[in-house]
Amino acid sequence: MINLYDSNETNFNNNGIGALKDVIKCEVTEALNGEFTIDFEYPKKSKYSNDIDNDMIIKIDTGSTERQLFRIKDYNENLSTITAKPQHISYDLIDNSLDDVFPQNLDGMAALQWILSHTQYKHKFTAFSNIAKKASARYVRKNPVEAILGDLDNSFVNVWGGEIERDNFVIRMLQQRGQDTGYKIKYKKNITGLQFNKDDSEVITRLRPMGYDGLMLPEKYIDSPLINNYPHPKIGEIVYSDIKLKQNQEDEEGYNTLEECYEELRNRAKIEFEENNIDKPKINVKVNFVDLSKTTMYEKYQFLSKIKLGDTVIVVLDSFEVKLRVIKTIYDSLLGRFTNLEIGEFKANYITDTQKNISNTVKKETENIGANILETAKQNATDLITKATNGYVVLRPSTNPTELLIMDTPDVKTATKIWRWNLNGLGYSKNGINGQYGLAITMDGHIVADFITSGHISGDVIASGAITADKIASDAIEAGKIKAGAVTADKIATDAVEAKHIKAGAITANDITSGTMKADRISGGTLTVGGSNNGNGNIQVKNSSDNIEVEINNKGIVLADGNKIIGRQWSIL
């Protein structure tokens, strides 16, 4: 039964305005940590067509224990039908606001309650969570749905983790939704009703695990037990920034010996293969129960009608098994059953306990670098800075302060990530107040940075040191500022290098494709004309004051009066 209620209704223990018996379509789509909406269609000439409008509420069966409430959105009508896209009642929270909310050092239950109890106006929603992890996050001018499920760096799912289960006015954030069913699906390419997709583009079978600051195993690589299942090894790298050697015994973070670092790197590599399945292809299975029922395989896969969102199943491939989860469901409220399932890898946008809240960097050797590095860097910087809502600002000393600190904890003794700004400069350390400061601008004019992404650097500011040619990607460095070393011709893509600035070394004629090199700038060395690569090139020398014209080509020297010097040795002094 589908019941219709007024938009302001608060009591749903009745039939409301009435039962929508003539509904043509009512399909509920729910994705894990994603949408929870309905595709709704109702005849225009039916009894309650004049009552249906945006913000009205319907109560329907979604395949869960309790019937769920949805608010009508995207109302449309034509001559024959009314269509809409009702959203689960929990989306009402989008219209509320968190003006400045700061849950600190709370577990999942307390943090979720804090968020829901500090909205701009009161509501009916309550919270539950079984996540024990304690953390902090700050939300400024965000709506509660953004704060809980959004792609913000400090959203609940990004900080505490968890998977949402919505039950009318109860918001549950569970450590993991669903159960491990033990059911198995055998991989086949052509089964009506089961659509398989297999992607091995990101598989790694030979892993190079690396620790902080380039720390690498003596043996460099760890091989997967499945390495021989592929035509050749698939090499990749994962950086574990928390695995590092203590610089001194007072350091709280890090390992005491290199051997301990190596052992942990080996353990992490083992976890990547055994638990995170980096050596196995990504499998996605879409199940259409209507099509499946038409096949002889139907009886074999009837168990699929019993599994729910978040449940785990096993897909059997030729040589190994992969555990996958139900990540999306479509439930037909009119038929009272699931009609479609999607089974695959849950692409959570939060850091799981398995990753130990460490920001690991994964890189395949076949990774493509974006063409517009500068724009990517700008966008990354913009995202980092504009989305920052955590941190503590401290002036010290408290009386007559001389420096500003921005830290990840309020206590300088426990903070590890610190921006420090005083008269001598500005710097960032990820190792506490005493540094090292790997990023810094100092009062004597020095800039220290591991990475500099820039559009244009003026040659006037390049005073010394070296820029290797492979780092000159675009724009220009004035030749007068290149004091030493070599710039190979393939790096001179546009514009010009004035000849007076070429002090030593060689530019081969093959690399002079356009533009002009003045003869008075060629003061030494050899300039070759002709040859298989240069055709019948020539050199023309003109001096207007002395009325001298000389052309040197592959046939010899031709003077201005037409005389030729052929078959003899000659030189220009």
> 506 pLDDT band (50/70/90 cuts)?
low
Q: Are residues 84 and 100 in the same domain?
A: no
Q: Give the model confidence (pLDDT) of 223-258 as tens digits.
A: 999 999 999 999 999 999 899 998 877 777 889 999
Q: Which residues contact 332 (CB under 8 A, 6 or more apart)?
A: 26, 27, 28, 338, 339
Q: Residue 384 pLDDT more than 70? A: no
Are 301 and 437 part of one and the same domain?
A: no
Q: Where does residue 546 rank: exposed (0-12), middle (13-18), buried (19+ CB within 10 A)?
A: exposed
The answer to whether residue 63 is domain-embedded is yes
Round the average pLDDT of the chain to a whole number and report it: 80
Which residues partner with 406 through β-bridges?
393, 419
CA 40, CA 49: separation in Å to the nearest integer?
Answer: 13
Most confident of 99-108, 378-387, 428-437: 99-108
Output the 3-class SS for 211-237.
CHHHCECCCCCEECCCHHHCCCCCEEE
Among 41-45, 371-375, 423-427, 536-540, where is mean pLDDT lowest? 371-375
277/265 Cα distance (integer angstroms) = 17
Query: Is position 168 within any domain?
Result: yes
Residue 549: predicted pLDDT: 61
* Mean of pLDDT values over 366-391: 58
Last residue of a domain, one of 448, 464, 486: 448
- Is 209 exposed, middle or buried (CB count within 10 Å of its CB: 0-12, 13-18, 19+)? buried
pLDDT band at 433 (very low <50, low <70, confident <90, very high): confident
Q: Give residue 523's pLDDT.
A: 52
The domain total for the chain is 4
The reply to whether 185 and 295 lie within a common domain is yes
- Residues 40 and 71 occupy one common structural domain: yes
Residues 6 or more apart in contact with residue 478 via CB below 8 angstroms: 458, 459, 460
Do 185 and 313 fall into the same domain?
Answer: yes
**Token reading at 425:** 């400069």
Give the pLDDT confidence of 290-317 residue by residue, as tens digits.
889 888 888 888 899 889 999 999 998 8
Distance (Å, rounded) from C-alpha 233 to C-alpha 224?
9
Q: What are phi and psi of 463, to 5 degrees?
A: -90, -35
Q: Sorting pLDDT into bands at 50, 70 and 90, what band is 407?
A: confident
Residue 49 has what pLDDT?
94
pLDDT of residue 6: 97
Mark whether 129 and 54 lie in a shared domain: no
Answer yes or no: are the C-beta atoms of 227 and 273 closer than 8 Å.
no
Domain containing residue 68:
3-90
Residue 171, pLDDT above cutoff 80: yes
Of 33, 66, 90, the domain-final residue: 90
Nearest to 165 by CA among 127, 207, 122: 127
The residue among 59, 70, 73 whose CA lies nearest residue 15 is 59
Question: How confident is the model over 484-505, as a mean pLDDT?
Answer: 54
Mean local confidence (pLDDT), 62-88: 95
- Cα 154 from Cα 115, distance rounded (Å): 13
Q: With cut-offs at 50, 70 and 90, classify the pLDDT of residue 511.
A: low
CATH number for the domain harbouring residue 329: 2.40.450
Beta strands in 514-563 (DSSP E): 539-543, 548-553, 556-559
Q: Is the pLDDT score of 486 beyond 60? A: no
Residue 51 is predicted with a pLDDT of: 94
User: CA 272, 277, 280: angle at the middle one, nearest 5?
Assistant: 130
Q: What is the pLDDT of residue 502?
A: 57
User: What is the distance between the alpha carbons of residues 162 and 482, in angstroms, rounded to a whole number?
Assistant: 55
Containing 182, the helix (H) or strand (E) segment is strand 180-186
